[in-house]
């Protein structure tokens, strides 16, 4: 059950990262969804999606 909840939280983070304003930080998005350690969040995100949150945010800014 814990894994399902974590996956949903990661999905919400990804959605927020893709739609976020350029001024909103990755850390603030992670904190909003209950990830208190930015390094841990980045590792989990990268494992789930195959891309680092920072790289996804850069893609967003380039678009």
**What is d(CA 10, CA 29) in angstroms, rounded to the nearest whole number?**
10
Nearest to 33 by CA among 52, 10, 17: 10
- Number of folded domains in the chain? 1
pLDDT at 23: 74
- Domain with 25, as residue range(s), is 2-62
Q: CATH number, domain at 39? A: 1.10.10
Instruction: For residue 8, name the pLDDT band (cuts at 50, 70, 90).
Output: very high
Instruction: For residue 58, name the pLDDT band (cuts at 50, 70, 90).
Output: confident
Instruction: For residue 19, name the pLDDT band (cuts at 50, 70, 90).
Output: confident
- Cα 10 to Cα 26, 62, 63: the distances in Å are 12, 22, 22
């Amino acid at each position: 059950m814990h894994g399902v909840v974590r996956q949903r939280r990661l999905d919400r983070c990804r959605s927020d990262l893709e739609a976020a304003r350029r001024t909103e930080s990755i850390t603030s998005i992670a904190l909003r969804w209950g990830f208190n350690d930015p390094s841990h969040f980045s590792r989990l995100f990268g494992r789930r999606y195959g891309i680092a949150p920072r790289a996804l945010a850069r893609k967003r800014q380039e678009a």
